[in-house]
Amino acid sequence: MQENVILVDEADNAVGECEKLAAHLEGGRLHRAFSVFIFNDAGELMLQRRALEKYHFGGLWTNTCCSHPRPGETTLAAATRRLMEELGFTTALVEQGSFLYRATDPLSGLTEHELDHVFVGRFLDAPTLNPAEVMDWRWQAISEIEAELSAHPERFTPWFPLALAYVR
């Protein structure tokens, strides 16, 4: 099944659609995306390690869930859908802000050029991983994540530290 993303301008106005993989070729086309951050009651963040088979940035640690809304789907609805598809749960989410970035995966050559909406929620149990999407997960304190990001940024997706700034 072909999946399309929503192309946007820098003000997040929809300007068209594009097949998902094509939106990541030749420097990337600006499209709408989201990053979800799920915390437990101890204030720890649920991190996921992307499956090695992901089309880009496979095997890297990142926020709880991230993806793209489909045409005709709200960003909040898409974030809720992807939490279930990747991690097997849903929870209430609140948007914290958005940012624009561009990053190229040196292994695949694909480029993310996104206007990324950041959502936060709470969950207290273990997720049920979809192995096609997620190879590992952990709860971790923000201070520990920041120390690891500083010492080993290559272990994380390039959007993760940018999005993390919205939930500190």
Per-residue pLDDT of 113-163, as tens digits, reads: 999 999 999 999 999 999 999 999 999 999 999 999 999 999 999 999 999
For 24-69, write each residue's pLDDT tens digit.
999 999 999 999 999 999 999 999 999 999 988 999 999 999 999 9
Catalytic center residues: 66, 114
pLDDT on residue 168 = 83
Query: Is the separation of the CB atoms in 61 and 151 below 8 Å?
Result: no
Strands 45-50 and 14-19: unpaired
End-to-end Cα separation, the chain, in angstroms: 37
Average pLDDT, the chain: 96
pLDDT on residue 121: 98
- What's the whole-number mean pLDDT along residues 9-27? 96
pTM score? 0.96
pLDDT at 73: 97
pLDDT at 126: 96
The predicted pLDDT at position 148 comes to: 98
1: pLDDT strictly greater than 80: no
Q: How confident is the model at residue 11 (pLDDT cuts 50, 70, 90)?
A: very high
CATH of the domain at 148: 3.90.79.10
The CA distance from 94 to 80, in Å, is 11
pLDDT at 141: 98
Rg (CA), the chain: 15
- What confidence score (pLDDT) does residue 2 get? 86
d(CA 67, CA 78): 8
Domain residue limits at 106: 4-164
How many domains is the chain partitioned into structurally? 1
